[in-house]
């Protein structure tokens, strides 16, 4: 009834726009609003033929409709509220050049594409694309380089329509000069596979970087040196972009805390979910050493490193619409960390305190390659990717607590080979899809700890010399499916049949060494686990699309078979569940500005081989775990609602999200804390539940006259769960409230400023006994001064404050930068003074279910760097 009423009251206005010579005009805004109001009821943009069409639901008797354009005079009509055709003939706008400064429109919309003009957001100090992106309303860049649009991570990142980097786009953002870019395009409701564009709807957004030239040769080169100690920073990143070829090659090395390995992280939503679903990018960390909680600010303040990174990315378009892509990288990185950890464990009837001084060394060596052949047309989609990865990582550490010293050594190499094939084609008006994924992985890890730990469990409360824990995990995984899609009118049906197979082996051994005698502990401290999982599944998806409403109903049914056995311990289990996991999603476009979305789903999740071990594993010096339990199971209900507002005319973007999750688990974990702070973790079979609510909102606006971007984000998160702490059942209630305003403003012609603030309050209670709140504030101020053409002076200040009960920690940081630019030669000479106040340590608090930690982290000292930069 409601939908029929809405459809009945809808009026449609269409027509065309031409100039006074009769030529069609593209990109003209047509706005509909009340006669005596300024509220925009609907709008459209004329296409290349000058045509436009819009719909609205207003019940007013009369309306006004007008055009808006930078180059043509406004034309306005008063019209009756009915469906009709209107024709506009526009006259060129006459401007007095001595009084009017013509500026490019900062944001334009063409259908589902938003176009941000890069030059409209850039300042004199900006050099690369990442500097400009963060000023664009509706777009946000996280501290890890991940790009968000309207609060959600982007799905794909293209450069001139090509996917060169497959999610690892930091190298482009951090090194592509913004002057080579004409605009940043947000592709709303973007379906990356062209053959599915009219079949499978999506509400995800992607980014396309549109370059100014058809052939672009650019990049960045930088060399710098400084003190104290002796510092260096070198970055050579040439780039080539053409219609049929793209290339980014980079060599970077530094010892000044710049974590260049971030360019190897997959950031796009589609690629991340794809890797997780098919277990392609999962590096198993079976064992670990005790580390320090890292500070929650820029890594270059605390990271002691010596890194070398070689990165190669090449894409070429072959004949018949095929693309060949090669992505390869080699990383060699040595990192150090030092600090103090004060830990308070909250037991139901007591507290336990532990103080430790930690000094760790990390050695990272990895080689990653990805070879991809792809064809993406309206009739065929083909993509085959072969990935080979090898890691030769190791770690060592020293812990001092009172008079005792503990040495840790860890070797954690890992190798994997995977291949993924996906093929979709049209056969007799039907889509046929075949996909196949295969992955083999191997992890051989060893942890040594001196002196031996867990004396009460391993050595009758007597001290001994050393533990050696070995853990070897081998795995093979494959996922294969065949699908068919049929459609009639607006309704599509997509059916898929598939089969998954996973086979893993986990072997662990724990040795005890005392007085030079090596003793392999008995079977209670060994695992010889065989894991076999098969899954047969069939899923049917119904998709219905209209102009305003897109509905998707997914109805998957699967049969799982788990066979888990440890023949040495004569333990094992079998599980054969039949699962039905429906999912509903809705997208409703109210008008050109407002969109609604919702989803509901029910899912079943089962544990992995990492969550079953019948023999104890010495995971780190504070954690011995045994999981002699049934396979973990959980059933989750997830509900989400969102509303988005985007108005490129007024440069306002806003949205609200709500998410509710209810989860039932069959196991509850038990933490048995020892007097030395070590934790014996086990699990028992007991049903329990976890309930969470997340409410978040955001708004941002750009004011072109002052080049000002204002943004505000806020969120409230509640989680209620259950744990067992020292044999006592405990209900844990956690809440987080955060508030984050941002401001980027051009104060004067010779001064601009950026300010960010984050205020977070953490509350926690155990069995309704409230723990003291933890409040954290971060204030960041970036002041830029341009005293004369070619000169830039920057002052960057940070203030961090954390309060807990009657404790309070404060940290201040100050940096100076001076840059002189030879604009014609595109050369910068730059001097930076980091940590002017020479703060040596940073203190912060962190919380878990049953403990509070205070870390004092050693920071990089005051240092000076002189560098020269080129645009290639």
Instruction: Please report the DSSP string for 551-605 in residue order.
Output: EEEEEEEEEEEEEEEETTTTEEEEE--EEE--EEEEEEE-SSSEEEEEEEEEEEE
**Per-residue pLDDT at 847:** 66
Q: Check whether 602 has a pLDDT greater than 90.
A: yes
For 749-762, what is each residue's pLDDT tens digit? 899 999 999 999 99
Alpha-carbon span 828 to 224, nearest angstrom: 11
% of the chain exceeding 70 in pLDDT? 93
Q: Check whether 490 has a pLDDT greater than 90.
A: no
For 261-271, what is each residue's pLDDT tens digit? 999 999 987 77
What DSSP string runs through 696-734?
EEEEEEEEGGGTEEEEEEEEEEEEEEEEEETTEEEEEEE
**Per-residue pLDDT at 99:** 39
Least confident of 87-101, 109-123, 388-402: 87-101
DSSP state of 42: E
Total H helices, total E strands in the chain: 5, 51
Alpha-carbon span 317 to 299, nearest angstrom: 38
For 53-81, what is each residue's pLDDT tens digit? 888 878 888 899 999 876 788 899 989 88
Alpha-carbon span 190 to 641, nearest angstrom: 20
Alpha-carbon span 447 to 470, nearest angstrom: 7
pLDDT greater at residue 297 or residue 720: 720
What does the domain layout of the chain look like in residue ranges?
A: 2-90, 107-214, 225-871
Q: Which token pair is 146?
A: 């991940």
Q: Which token pair is 512?
A: 């005890």
Q: Which token pair is 460?
A: 């009758």
Backbone angles phi, psi at 321, to 5 degrees: 65, 20
pLDDT greater at residue 615 or residue 673: 615
Q: Check whether 725 has a pLDDT greater than 70.
A: no
Assign domain 2-90 one CATH number from 3.50.50.60, 3.40.50.300, 2.60.40.10, 3.65.10.10.
2.60.40.10
Q: Which token pair is 672?
A: 């048995």
Q: Check whether 364 has a pLDDT greater than 80.
A: yes
Q: Check whether 629 has a pLDDT greater than 90.
A: no
The answer to pTM > 0.75 is yes
What is the side-by-side strand order in the sheet with 113-117?
A: 107-110, 113-117, 181-187, 206-211, 157-159
Q: Residue 428's closest CA among 354, 497, 485, 353?
A: 485
Least confident of 48-57, 117-126, 542-551, 796-805: 48-57
Q: Check whether 318 has a pLDDT greater than 80.
A: yes
What is the signed CA dihedral for 639, 643, 644, 645, rounded to 10 degrees?
180
Average pLDDT score, the chain? 90
**Per-residue pLDDT at 100:** 40
* Residues found in the chain: 872
Q: Check whether 669 has a pLDDT greater than 80.
A: no
Alpha-carbon span 659 to 692, nearest angstrom: 8
**Per-residue pLDDT at 624:** 86
Alpha-carbon span 400 to 406, nearest angstrom: 6
Tell me the CATH architecture of domain 107-214: Beta Complex (2.170)
Alpha-carbon span 745 to 749, nearest angstrom: 11
For 640-651, what is each residue's pLDDT tens digit? 999 999 998 889
Q: Residue 84's closest CA among 115, 59, 63?
A: 63
pLDDT band at 611 (very low <50, low <70, confident <90, very high): confident
Collapsed DSSP state (helix, strand, coil) of residue 798 = strand
pLDDT band at 297 (very low <50, low <70, confident <90, very high): confident
**Per-residue pLDDT at 5:** 38
pLDDT band at 3 (very low <50, low <70, confident <90, very high): very low
**Per-residue pLDDT at 849:** 60
Domains 2-90 and 225-871 share a fold: no
**Per-residue pLDDT at 787:** 94
**Per-residue pLDDT at 54:** 85
pLDDT band at 568 (very low <50, low <70, confident <90, very high): very high
Alpha-carbon span 614 to 523, nearest angstrom: 9
795, 814 contact by CB (below 8 A): yes
Please state the rounded mean pLDDT for residues 81-90. Answer: 91
Q: Which token pair is 594?
A: 């407002």
Least confident of 44-48, 100-104, 780-784: 100-104
What is the signed CA dihedral for 644, 647, 653, 657, rounded to 10 degrees?
-10
Radius of gyration of the chain (CA): 30
Alpha-carbon span 673 to 668, nearest angstrom: 16
Q: Which token pair is 414?
A: 């890992």
Q: Residue 762 burial by CB count (10 A; 0-12/13-18/19+): exposed, middle or buried? A: buried
Peptide bond into 622 cis (omega under 30): no
In CATH terms, the fold of domain 225-871 is Maltoporin; Chain A (2.40.170)
Return the ∠ at Cα 611 (arms to 608 and 612), rounded to 5°: 100
Please state the rounded mean pLDDT for residues 80-109. Answer: 72
pLDDT band at 674 (very low <50, low <70, confident <90, very high): low
**Per-residue pLDDT at 4:** 39
**Per-residue pLDDT at 108:** 87
Task: Please report the sign of the dihedral spanned by the C-alpha atoms of residue 36, residue 40, residue 42, residue 47.
Answer: positive
Q: Within its chain, how far is the Cα of 645 from the centroid?
A: 22
Q: Check whether 274 has a pLDDT greater than 80.
A: no
143, 149 contact by CB (below 8 A): no
Please state the rounded mean pLDDT for residues 643-666. Answer: 94
């Amino acid at each position: 009834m409601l939908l029929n009423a809405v459809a009945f009251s809808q009026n449609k206005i269409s027509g065309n726009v031409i100039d006074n010579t009769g030529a069609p005009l593209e990109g003209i805004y047509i706005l509909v609003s009340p006669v005596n109001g300024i509220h925009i009821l609907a709008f459209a943009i004329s296409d290349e033929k000058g045509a436009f069409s819009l719909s609205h639901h207003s019940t007013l008797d009369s309306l006004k409709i007008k055009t808006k354009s930078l180059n043509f005079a406004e034309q306005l009509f008063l019209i009756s509220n009915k469906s009709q055709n209107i024709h506009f003939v526009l006259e060129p706008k006459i401007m007095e050049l001595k009084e009017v400064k013509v500026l490019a429109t900062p944001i334009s919309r063409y259908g589902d594409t938003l176009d941000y003009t890069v030059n409209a957001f850039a300042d004199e100090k900006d050099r690369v694309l990442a500097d400009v992106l963060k000023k664009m309303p509706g777009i946000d860049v996280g501290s890890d380089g991940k790009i968000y649009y309207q609060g959600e991570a982007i799905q794909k990142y293209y450069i001139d329509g090509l996917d060169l980097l497959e999610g690892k786009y930091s190298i482009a953002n951090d090194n592509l000069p913004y002057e080579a870019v004409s605009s940043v395009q947000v592709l709303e409701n973007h379906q990356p596979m062209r053959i599915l564009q009219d079949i499978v709807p999506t509400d995800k957004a992607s980014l396309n970087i549109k370059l100014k030239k058809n052939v672009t040769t650019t990049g960045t080169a930088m060399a710098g040196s400084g003190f104290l100690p002796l510092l260096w920073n070198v970055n050579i990143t040439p780039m080539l972009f053409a219609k049929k070829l793209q290339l980014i090659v980079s060599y970077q090395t530094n010892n000044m805390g710049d974590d260049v390995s971030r360019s190897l992280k997959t950031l796009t939503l589609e690629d991340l979910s794809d890797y997780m679903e098919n277990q392609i990018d999962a590096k198993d960390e079976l064992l670990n050493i005790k580390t320090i909680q890292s500070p929650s600010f820029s890594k270059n303040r605390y990271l002691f490193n010596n890194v070398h990174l070689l990165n190669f990315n090449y894409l070429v378009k072959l004949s018949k619409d095929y693309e060949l892509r090669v992505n390869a990288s080699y990383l060699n990185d040595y990192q150090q960390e030092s600090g103090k950890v004060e830990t308070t464990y909250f037991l139901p009837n007591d507290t336990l305190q532990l103080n430790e001084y930690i000094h760790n060394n990390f050695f990272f060596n990895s080689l990653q390659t990805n070879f991809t052949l792809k064809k993406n047309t309206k009739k065929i989609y083909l993509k085959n990717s072969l990935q080979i990865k090898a890691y030769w990582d190791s770690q060592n550490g020293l812990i001092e607590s009172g008079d005792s010293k503990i040495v840790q050594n860890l070797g954690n190499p890992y190798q994997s080979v995977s291949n993924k094939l996906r093929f979709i084609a049209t056969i007799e008006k039907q889509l046929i899809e075949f996909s196949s994924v295969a992955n083999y992985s191997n992890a051989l890890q060893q942890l040594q700890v001196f002196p031996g730990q867990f004396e009460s469990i391993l050595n009758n409360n007597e001290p001994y010399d050393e533990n050696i824990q070995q853990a070897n995990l081998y795995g093979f995984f494959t996922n294969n499916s065949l699908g068919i899609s049929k459609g009639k009118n607006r309704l599509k049906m997509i059916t898929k049949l598939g089969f998954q197979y996973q086979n893993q082996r986990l072997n662990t051994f724990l040795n005890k060494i005392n007085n030079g005698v090596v003793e392999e502990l008995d079977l209670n401290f060994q695992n010889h686990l065989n894991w076999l999982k098969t899954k047969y599944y069939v899923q049917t998806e119904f998709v219905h699309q209209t102009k305003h409403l897109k509905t998707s109903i997914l109805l998957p049914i699967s049969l799982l078979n788990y066979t888990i056995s440890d023949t040495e311990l004569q333990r094992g289990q079998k599980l054969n569940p039949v699962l039905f996991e429906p999912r509903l999603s809705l997208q409703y476009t109210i008008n050109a500005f407002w969109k609604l979305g919702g989803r509901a789903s029910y899912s079943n999740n089962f544990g992995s081989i990492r969550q079953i071990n019948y023999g104890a594993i010495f995971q780190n010096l504070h954690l011995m775990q045994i999981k002699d339990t049934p396979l973990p199971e959980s059933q989750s209900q997830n509900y989400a609602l969102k509303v988005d507002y985007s108005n490129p005319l007024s440069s306002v973007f806003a949205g609200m999200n709500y998410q509710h999750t209810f989860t039932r688990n069959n196991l509850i974990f038990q933490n048995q804390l020892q007097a030395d702070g070590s934790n014996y973790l086990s699990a028992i079979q007991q049903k329990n539940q976890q309930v969470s609510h997340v409410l978040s909102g955001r708004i941002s606006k750009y004011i072109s006259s002052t080049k000002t971007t204002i943004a505000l984000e806020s969120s409230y998160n509640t989680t209620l769960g259950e744990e067992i702490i020292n044999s006592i059942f405990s209900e844990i209630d956690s809440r987080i409230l955060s508030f984050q305003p941002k401001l980027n403003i051009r104060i004067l012609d010779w001064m601009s400023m950026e300010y960010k603030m984050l205020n977070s309050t953490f509350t926690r209670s155990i069995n309704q006994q409230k723990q003291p709140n933890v409040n954290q504030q971060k204030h960041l101020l970036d002041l830029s001064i341009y005293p004369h053409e070619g000169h830039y002076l920057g002052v960057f200040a940070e203030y961090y404050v954390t309060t807990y009960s009657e404790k309070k920690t404060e940290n201040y940081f100050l940096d100076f930068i001076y840059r002189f630019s030879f604009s014609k030669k595109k050369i910068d000479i730059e001097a930076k003074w980091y940590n002017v106040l020479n703060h040596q340590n940073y203190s912060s608090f962190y919380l878990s279910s049953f403990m509070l930690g205070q870390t004092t982290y050693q920071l990089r000292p005051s240092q000076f760097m002189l560098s020269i930069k080129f645009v290639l």
